[in-house]
Chains A and B, each alone.
Chain A
């Protein structure tokens, strides 16, 4: 089916808000190339479960496309129009299963050596879209905090290697009440600038006491969901004909209630957590990966103003000889390996924060929990230097956001 044949009733399976958005822009959708439109619908179909920033972006894009003349739309999308898709993809139900379409399109683009051309078209389209979309001023400068190394008593390696050239390394930090001071500060930010899903606390273990206005996600609190997911997957892979791609499709269709998430909860947050576990590779197994991927998605999707991520020790990867001997060891953790994971993850946290609007005014702090080492990247602090100042975490954070 071609986009020009789109009819309103074909979107009857969409959630209410998503259907409203689609129908408001149906004329424009009919003009879009088939290779392009399912990726847009993939976002729209989840509109009801999107964060406010995502909703604004979707509507903004659709408004822009609707306002464009036919010639302007052609100009904007001609690089996509030059690409081919298979008849099988054309026949697929891309209206109701846009995610499945884009998954299969991706495989098709790889196999027909069109991926690079698609990337170039997408990059060009994205750059143009960003330049034309109105940008709202941020209510406050963005702040990222990473707390790494929980339960590590000593570490001989050099931390923050990738970040040092960008900020100031502090080696005389007073660690006392460090986490509490940081959590109090982010709670204060959430009160001072009330923005839905604007202020986050992600914990790779058990969450600590935190402000009520913070959106909190923790590995520990999702334990029943993770276990339900693993049971679900185990049952699925035992079915005949199940392969990796079929499994991925199955995971994409899961809903929070399939994994026992409370239907009275926050539907947007529940859907977000579900996607972290079903789309993030390794998030179900390693708490460090869970925390890193969650932080990435919080920044990419919710565009958080404040994000504190605390890493906890992940389970130890057992070597082959141990697995063969069937000795028990599942409950063991690997604090040093987790510190190394989290050190890299904090670098990614900073990179991802820099991808967002206002990056040049944003601040980032990473602290080796319980120890004297920290690093701050902020517009007011010098780069590539070391400070011997004796500060507690509250004072250090004040310095970062001053």
Chain B
């Protein structure tokens, strides 16, 4: 994220292809998603069906309600997803999930476009400014801390499953009023893998280097004892069973979804946050691997939703949100290199979408009004009944 250099733009001149304004691009992206969803998945325009909340209300419902947030750490662009030429990559999102969802076509991220800092911002509802490459907690209280404190929920009621690097601190903030012990426990599946694998190999090192923004660097975090304890006491898995299952999976995100399913079965948390990361292989510059990552994420989202339907604790009372943390650079941004990075801060890299589906959500509706990624936490607060006092976002009006 830190390589913006206007001299790259200068030396390369201004784009000579038709260059619409930022607002036009953002609006076009939003409209394309809407039109495509209307044509393909039969979704209706939200403004046409009224402004009443798509969510059910009431304390009794809140108590039973489960919420799952799935973010993609590694945005996917429209041309590889919701644009006509990208639809072949997301058959599950388009054909299975979109028709059941309220779809928000115009989500903007005005913060720093690094995956850890952006995901931290999603969890706090504030554009955090922490160092993307450091394992530091967010400055502001997280959704997990608000949720637990205001609703008096135990630690076991909220969990984060996240990729390894840096994300181990995402469950709770540095805030004086909250902080250590008041947020969510974080499970890092790949570190779990590292702790259980006997004899680290070069290949495993490669697997742990999951921060594609800095492909050489393997972050060092705490020792393996905590992970092993989690494996046995929380996931109720033996090391042998865990490793045997891991050997059947093709990617770290598949492992994350496997862990999330175990958590749902064993702990049934009310607020579960899953961050996927396979798509971010795009930083390696291999387009085919980036597209493979999108296809896998598409499949895993559907798989997770299927699990929600089949788990008694979740079936019928779960709302799931799916959103990329941000986009990726446009092909036409001279300072970038297209899909590979998200370094320019251009409109394509800042504009994305969100899908909400499940309990109380009005299915098959598209909302075009712009929202910001920091609006998610206040929206969750309004839904679940907690007050994210320090968030700078606003509850999404379509949910009010």
Interface centre among B246, B252, B287 (most CB of A within 10 A): B287
Segment with Cβ contacts to A, from B4-12, B40-48, B179-187, B268-276: B4-12
- Are A122's CB and B211's CB within 8 A? no
Q: How far is the CA of A2 from the CA of B179 in the complex (A)?
A: 41
Interface mask (B196-240 → A, CB under 8 Å = 1, otherwise 0): 010001011011000111111110000000000000000000000
Identify A122's interface contact among B9, B13, B204, CB under 8 A: B9
- Are A244's CB and B288's CB within 8 A? no
Task: Give me the 7 closest cross-chain CB pairs, A-B, nearest first.
Answer: A122-B6, A289-B285, A244-B214, A282-B284, A282-B285, A340-B288, A319-B250
Q: How far is the CA of A39 from the CA of B7 in the complex (A)?
A: 7
Asked if A359 is an interface residue, CB under 8 A from chain B, the answer is yes
With A237-B216, A237-B217, A340-B288 in contact, do A323 and B345 touch (Cβ < 8 Å)?
A: no
CB distance from A58 to the nearest CB of B (A): 10
**What residues of chain B lie closer than 8 Å to A111, measured between beta carbons?**
112, 129
With A300-B11, A352-B12, A355-B15 in contact, do A324 and B251 touch (Cβ < 8 Å)?
A: no
- Are A348's CB and B5's CB within 8 A? no
- Are A43's CB and B16's CB within 8 A? no
- Are A126's CB and B215's CB within 8 A? no
CB distance from B198 to the nearest CB of A (A): 11
**What residues of chain B lie closer than 8 Å to A116, measured between beta carbons?**
345
Interface mask (A313-326 → B, CB under 8 Å = 1, otherwise 0): 01001111101111
- Are A122's CB and B216's CB within 8 A? no
Asked if A367 is an interface residue, CB under 8 A from chain B, the answer is no
Classify the interface of chain A: helix, strand, loop or mixed. helix
Which residues between 267 and 289 of chain A lie within 8 Å of chain B, taking CB atoms? 280-283, 285-286, 288-289
CB distance from A304 to the nearest CB of B (A): 13
With A110-B1, A161-B85 in contact, do A320 and B249 touch (Cβ < 8 Å)?
A: yes
Interface size counted on chain A using CB atoms at 8 A: 76
**What residues of chain B lie closer than 8 Å to A143, measured between beta carbons?**
none
- Are B203's CB and A326's CB within 8 A? yes
Which residues between 30 and 58 of chain A lie within 8 Å of chain B, taking CB atoms? 39-40, 42-43, 54, 57
* CB-based nearest B residue for A230: B216
**What residues of chain B lie closer than 8 Å to A248, measured between beta carbons?**
214
- Are B283's CB and A282's CB within 8 A? yes
Q: How far is the CA of A307 from the CA of B382 in the complex (A)?
A: 57
- Are B332's CB and A245's CB within 8 A? no
Q: How far is the CA of A116 from the CA of B344 in the complex (A)?
A: 9
Q: How far is the CA of A170 from the CA of B127 in the complex (A)?
A: 50
**What residues of chain A lie closer than 8 Å to B85, measured between beta carbons?**
161
CB distance from A336 to the nearest CB of B (A): 8
Asked if B255 is an interface residue, CB under 8 A from chain A, the answer is yes
Asked if A82 is an interface residue, CB under 8 A from chain B, the answer is no
CB distance from A329 to the nearest CB of B (A): 9
- Are B6's CB and A126's CB within 8 A? yes
**What residues of chain B lie closer than 8 Å to A343, measured between beta carbons?**
287
Asked if A92 is an interface residue, CB under 8 A from chain B, the answer is no
- Are B11's CB and A127's CB within 8 A? no
Count the A-B residue pairs with Cβ separation under 8 angstroms: how many?
185
- Are A320's CB and B250's CB within 8 A? yes
Asked if A107 is an interface residue, CB under 8 A from chain B, the answer is yes
Interface centre among A285, A324, A334 (most CB of B within 10 A): A324
Classify the interface of chain B: helix, strand, loop or mixed. loop
- Are A348's CB and B341's CB within 8 A? no
Q: Which residues of A contact B (CB under 8 A)?
A: 39-40, 42-43, 54, 57, 102-103, 106-107, 109-113, 115-116, 118-119, 122-123, 125-127, 129-130, 161, 233, 237, 243-245, 247-248, 280-283, 285-286, 288-289, 292-293, 296, 299-301, 314, 317-321, 323-326, 334, 336-338, 340-341, 343-345, 347-348, 351-352, 354-357, 359
Q: Offer 13 A-B interface pairs, CB within 8 angstroms, sorted by A.
A: A107-B2, A123-B6, A123-B14, A282-B284, A320-B246, A320-B249, A321-B249, A323-B203, A324-B197, A336-B288, A341-B286, A351-B17, A357-B13
Interface mask (B251-262 → A, CB under 8 Å = 1, otherwise 0): 110110000000
Interface size class of B (residues with CB under 8 A): 35 or more
- Are A130's CB and B251's CB within 8 A? no
Q: How far is the CA of A54 from the CA of B338 in the complex (A)?
A: 23
CB distance from B34 to the nearest CB of A (A): 23
Identify B285's interface contact among A237, A288, A301, CB under 8 A: A288
Q: How far is the CA of A343 from the CA of B290 in the complex (A)?
A: 14
- Are B285's CB and A323's CB within 8 A? no
CB distance from A288 to the nearest CB of B (A): 6
- Are B251's CB and A319's CB within 8 A? yes
- Are A296's CB and B337's CB within 8 A? yes
* CB-based nearest A residue for B246: A324
- Are A281's CB and B283's CB within 8 A? yes
With A109-B4, A352-B12 in contact, do A285 and B331 touch (Cβ < 8 Å)?
A: no
**What residues of chain B lie closer than 8 Å to A280, measured between beta carbons?**
285
With A43-B7, A319-B251, A341-B286 in contact, do A281 and B341 touch (Cβ < 8 Å)?
A: yes
Asked if B340 is an interface residue, CB under 8 A from chain A, the answer is yes
Identify B331's interface contact among A318, A319, A351, CB under 8 A: A351
**What residues of chain A lie closer than 8 Å to B131, measured between beta carbons?**
107
**What residues of chain B lie closer than 8 Å to A347, measured between beta carbons?**
331
- Are A39's CB and B6's CB within 8 A? yes
With A129-B10, A293-B337, A355-B12 in contact, do A243 and B134 touch (Cβ < 8 Å)?
A: yes
**What residues of chain A lie closer than 8 Å to B193, measured between beta carbons?**
324
Asked if B243 is an interface residue, CB under 8 A from chain A, the answer is yes
Q: How far is the CA of A109 from the CA of B111 in the complex (A)?
A: 11
In the complex, besides A119-B6, A245-B2, A281-B283, 4 extra interface pairs with C-beta distance below 8 angstroms are A118-B4, A292-B285, A320-B249, A355-B334
CB distance from A343 to the nearest CB of B (A): 8
**What residues of chain A lie closer than 8 Å to B345, measured between beta carbons?**
110, 115-116, 119
Q: How far is the CA of A350 from the CA of B251 in the complex (A)?
A: 33
Asked if B357 is an interface residue, CB under 8 A from chain A, the answer is no
**What residues of chain B lie closer than 8 Å to A110, measured between beta carbons?**
1-2, 4, 112-113, 129, 345
